[in-house]
Amino acid sequence: MILSQRPTLTQYLIDQRRRFPQASGDFNALILDVALACKAIAQAVAWGELGGVLGRQRDGAADAINVQGEAQMRLDVLSNEVFLRQNEWGGQLAGMASEEMEQPYPIPQQYPRGKYLLVFDPLDGSSNIDVNVSVGSIFSVLRAPEGAQQPGRELRETDFLQSGDRQVAAGYAIYGPATMLILTVGNGVAGFTLDPGLGEFMLTHPDIQVPCDTREFAINASNSRFWEAPVKRYVDECLAGREGPRDKDFNMRWIASMVAEAHRILMRGGVFLYPRDSKDAARPGRLRLLYEANPIGFIIEQAGGRVSTGRQNVLEVQPDSLHQRIPLVFGSRNEVERIERYHAEPVAREFEAPLFAERSLFRA
Ligand code: AHG
Ligand code: MN
Ligand code: MN
């Protein structure tokens, strides 16, 4: 095949850097290393059963469990290793943090330290690996605090506890029918499709915009009995369709890979909710702030969408721990704003728990 006229990821990054004549090139090198990690993971995922890396991670005789108390898949662990090895050596980072590691990962002694921090979910949607449904990797780039790159200074959890609006860049790779990389460096959102022959990410989606309106929502409806009243009201009104107050029919989707839902929403609009619920009092939400909600939120905002806890902009939340969970709503601006309004308004009687349960559309 003749080389297409599309810019590569490298060309895109160089073009973006021209806005900052002083830039050292470290940032671009970092993004290219992250992209290479994603290509390696894409390859491992694509081999499926033939690669011999599917299934549960074993810890001796038992299934391995990560810091979140969730079963680890072999590909979770492998993807984490790929991210660490590919990004530790280049001198751009002062440290990393991942869903799969309880503590932050300091840069090994033999490598220089740099001015950025990398936070990631190496494989999102693990429960879908064995069923050949799209999974992805999510990453967020932060500036390391002053002094954190000095040799001898130990890496601290607090170095990473920065609100989402301080992200320098964020992105995800989706391992679907095609592998794509979606990236924001704070100047809109660009989408790249992997050319498997060249091994290059080609710019195919130069300025992604999330439509303001939608007729599609995504929520795990099996949790409906644990939802708060504003969420019940929102979903109930969607389900009521043309006969209800929204006066239009909605579609529901749930892939259980947030990356895949985010991607669908970026491509054609929609709203995603993993709200706070009462299923487990110790958990204020399902998804993690630093390596799921913040990077996806930054991308969605840069594409003209909105991201919220229901009560405030996610990107303004000051994190208090590395693996903190957060209620998450994102997508088409007008829907997210409506959900925020429902959280701010007093709760109508009918949506208070017991009554709602009687008349809920989820019940016969
Ligand atoms: P991970 O595989 O990184 O632990 O994340 C899975 C997340 C997210 O991708 C998805 O939206 C959600 O968990 C699925 O939750 P349910 O199991 O409630 O469907
Ligand atoms: Mn995840
Ligand atoms: Mn994960």
**pLDDT reported for residue 316:** 98
Helix (H, G, I), strand (E, B) or coil at 180: strand
The structure's pTM equals 0.94
Using a 6 Å cutoff on CB, does residue 299 contact ligand 1? no
CB 129 within 8 A of CB 45: yes
Residue nearest to atom 19 of ligand 1 (CA): 256
Parse the chain into domains and list their residue ranges.
9-205, 216-356
CB 236 within 8 A of CB 228: no
The first and second tokens of residue 126, run together, are 């693990």
Q: Which amino acid is at 10?
A: T
Using a 6 Å cutoff on CB, does residue 70 contact ligand 1? yes
Residue nearest to atom 6 of ligand 1 (CA): 125
Fold adopted by 216-356: D-Maltodextrin-Binding Protein; domain 2 (3.40.190)
Using a 6 Å cutoff on CB, does residue 257 contact ligand 1? yes
Using a 6 Å cutoff on CB, does residue 76 contact ligand 1? no
**pLDDT reported for residue 215:** 98
**pLDDT reported for residue 77:** 94
In order of 34, 158, 345, the CA distances from 37 in angstroms are 5, 26, 45
Pairing of strands 251-252, 216-218: parallel
Instruction: Tell which one of 124, 129, 138 to mutate to probe ligand 1, the residue whose CB is within 8 A of the most ligand atoms.
Output: 124
End-to-end CA distance of the chain: 57
Pairing of strands 116-124, 325-326: unpaired
pLDDT along the chain (364 residues), means of 10: 83 93 93 98 95 87 84 94 98 97 96 97 94 97 93 93 98 98 97 97 98 98 96 98 97 97 98 95 92 98 98 98 98 98 86 54 51
User: What would the DSSP string read from start to end of 53-89?
Assistant: --SBPEETTEEPB-TTS-BPBHHHHHHHHHHHHHHSS
**From CA 256, how far away is CA 67, in angstroms rounded?**
20
Using a 6 Å cutoff on CB, does residue 220 contact ligand 1? yes
Using a 6 Å cutoff on CB, does residue 121 contact ligand 1? yes
Would you give the DSSP letter of residue 126? G
Instruction: Tell which one of 68, 79, 121, 127 to mutate to probe ligand 1, the residue whose CB is within 8 A of the most ligand atoms.
Output: 127
Instruction: Tell which one of 80, 131, 286 to mutate to probe ligand 1, the residue whose CB is within 8 A of the most ligand atoms.
Output: 286
pLDDT in tens, 252-280: 999 999 999 999 999 999 999 999 999 98
- Per CATH, the number for 9-205 is 3.30.540.10
For ligand 1, the distance from its centroid to the CA atom of residue 259, given in whole angstroms, is 9
